Structure 1
Amino acid sequence: MAARTHPTARQRRLGAELRKLREKAGMTATAAGALLGGNQARISNIETGRVPISADRVRTLACNYDCADEALIDALAAMTGGRTRHWWEEYRGILPPGMLDLAELEHHAVELRTAQTSSLPGLLQTVDHARVVFQQGVPALPPPEIEHRVSLRIKRQAVLYRQDPVPYTAIIHEAALRMQFGGAAITKAQLKHLLEMSERDNVTVAVIPFTAGAHPGSGQTVLYARGPVPQLDTVQLDQSHGPTLLDTEAQLAKYRTVLDRLRALALSPKASQNFLHAIAREL
């Protein structure tokens, strides 16, 4: 198979998980390569996501690595993806790869939790709000790229509407709700949209009011994507240079705790809806 020039985050993660299994088994890359009729270089390229691997070969490696976790093996086999081309690939080469990795992460997650202090979750933004957000980019983005970014953001929201919608919890600080991106009219429409989304069975909106005081992770945007097995959970952090993905157990445990503490500080879903209504009435 031809080598990939730019493997996706999901492809790199598959390779990284296979490397973990090999190292846990105490097997060298050379010995692992021989299992597939190749050499050390082939395994190295698989483990960096540069060379594709089939589901059958994932199972072959897992068997020889003495991995008895069938749920993990099935999840890794599913990550090979075959020749499936997903909708976000149409943006490849047009938008930064990190934005496409986020769409891919959300698409495959079995549950999503996010906490945001100074901005609203992308999956809950209106078109007008999203456009204003991207217009604030530094350096300024050209209009066509702004529209591509808006389009990608809105299409990502399909995970909340599809036949098997992902369970989604959004913990939003009052500061983000009161920022008038684009003025009062756009803000009011955005708050109305948040209220409508909060009525969906799979969506929970929880507001942290100013009166809640100090809290962990102030100013940081956190997304926790639960995978089909705990070993494949992922945390995404927004950084000025783009999204950062974390997946070590220590990092995952840290952000599960952060999100749990933030959820405990937030209002109940019903009280959050009332809070949103009150802010909208002030506009």
Structure 2
Amino acid sequence: MALRSEPTARQMRLAVELRRLRDSAGLATREAAALLGVSAPQISQIEAALAGVSEKRLRRLAANYACPDAELINALVVMATDRTRGWWEDYRGILPTQFLDLSELEHYASYRRDVDFLHVPGLLQTENYARSLFSYVNPEFPDSEVERWVEHRMKRQIIIEHPDPIPYETVIHEAALRIRTGDRATARTQLARILELSEADHVTVRVIPFELDGFGGAGSTMVYVGGPVSKLDTVVRDGPNGPVFIDAEAQLSRYRTLFRRVEAVSLEPERSRDFIYRLVKEL
């Protein structure tokens, strides 16, 4: 079987987790290969996401590594054997790979938490808001290119809009709600959209008002995506070339704590809706 030339972020995560299991077992690559009855380069290829791994071999590796976490292993088996071709594949070669990886990550998410300070979170954006944002950030894009980005962003919202949506929590600073990415009508429609979505049982919207004293977290915009088990959670941060995926446990723990700190100082959901409603009336 030919080696992969461009592994997806999901394939890379599987590879990373298998490497972590081997490291925890204190085994060298050649030792893991001997236990599995394959060559050391084959183990290296699996751990670099250049080659896949069957369920049988994955479970044998886990047994050889004496991993006691059955839920983690079952989740890794799903990652290794799922052959779903997601809707985001239609954008391969059209949009940067990192954004397709983000769509794939969201598709398999068990929940998502956002913190935003300058923009309305992507899952809550209207078409006109997203269009204004992409046009401003990428003034060199022709209209057709902007529309591809808008279309992709709208399709990503399926995770909170389809019949079996994931739980979604977001904390939005007042600045993001007041900044007019588009015109007055776009701003009004956008706020109304947030209010509409916030009424859903699976969506929780909280607001941090300007008047809050002692808040120093304004540089902490983030996306936290829950995996099938907590060890497979992922944090997504904006990088100069697109989304950056963070999966080290120490970093995941830090961002979980950060979200709870930001959540603790924000307005309760009902007060947040009242706050947004007042902003709508001002427009």
Scaled to the shorter chain, the TM-score interval is over 0.9
| Correspondences of 1:67-82 after superposition (within 5 Å) | 67-82=67-82
| Correspondences of 1:39-58 after superposition (within 5 Å) | 39-58=39-58
Q: Render the CA deviation track for 1:197-224: whole Å, top value 9, x for unaligned.
A: 0011100000000011343431342011
How far apart, in 1, do the equivalents of 2:101 and 2:215 lie?
29
Tell me the C-alpha RMSD between the 2 structures: 1.4
Residue equivalent to 1:5:
5
How far apart, in 1, do the equivalents of 2:187 and 2:73 lie?
46
| Correspondences of 1:29-108 after superposition (within 5 Å) | 29-108=29-108
Structure 1 contact 223–237 (Cα < 8 Å) conserved: yes
Give 1:35 deviation, angstroms: 4.1
| Correspondences of 1:214-253 after superposition (within 5 Å) | 214-253=214-253
Stretches of structure 2 lacking an aligned partner (at least 5 in a row) = none
Residue equivalent to 1:182:
182
Residue equivalent to 2:172:
172
Give 1:138 deviation, angstroms: 4.3
How far apart, in 2, do the equivalents of 1:205 and 1:61 lie?
43
How far apart, in 1, do the equivalents of 2:89 and 2:9 lie?
13
| Correspondences of 1:84-233 after superposition (within 5 Å) | 84-138=84-138, 140-233=140-233
Residue equivalent to 2:26:
26
Q: Please, what TM-score do these two structures have when normalized by structure 2?
A: 0.96
Q: Which amino acid aligns with 1:50?
A: L
Q: Identical aligned pairs, as a percentage?
A: 48
How far apart, in 2, do the equivalents of 1:147 and 1:214 lie?
40
How far apart, in 2, do the equivalents of 1:55 and 1:185 lie?
53
How far apart, in 1, do the equivalents of 2:216 and 2:48 lie?
34
How far apart, in 2, do the equivalents of 1:168 and 1:82 lie?
24
Q: Which amino acid aligns with 1:5?
A: S
Asked whether 1:259 is paired with 2:249, we answer no
Q: Render the CA deviation track for 1:71-118: whole Å, top value 9, x for unaligned.
A: 010011111143221111111111011111111111111111110000
How far apart, in 2, do the equivalents of 1:109 and 1:260 lie?
19
Secondary structure of the 1:80 match is helix
Secondary structure of the 1:79 match is helix
How far apart, in 1, do the equivalents of 2:17 and 2:263 lie?
30
Greater CA deviation, 215-224 or 173-182?
215-224
Secondary structure of the 2:231 match is helix
How far apart, in 2, do the equivalents of 1:22 and 1:139 lie?
47
Q: Which amino acid aligns with 1:124?
A: L
How far apart, in 1, do the equivalents of 2:271 and 2:81 lie?
42
How far apart, in 2, do the equivalents of 1:13 and 1:143 lie?
35
How far apart, in 1, do the equivalents of 2:216 and 2:81 lie?
37
Structure 1 contact 95–145 (Cα < 8 Å) conserved: no
How far apart, in 2, do the equivalents of 1:217 and 1:124 lie?
22
How far apart, in 2, do the equivalents of 1:54 and 1:43 lie?
13
How far apart, in 1, do the equivalents of 2:53 and 2:91 lie?
24
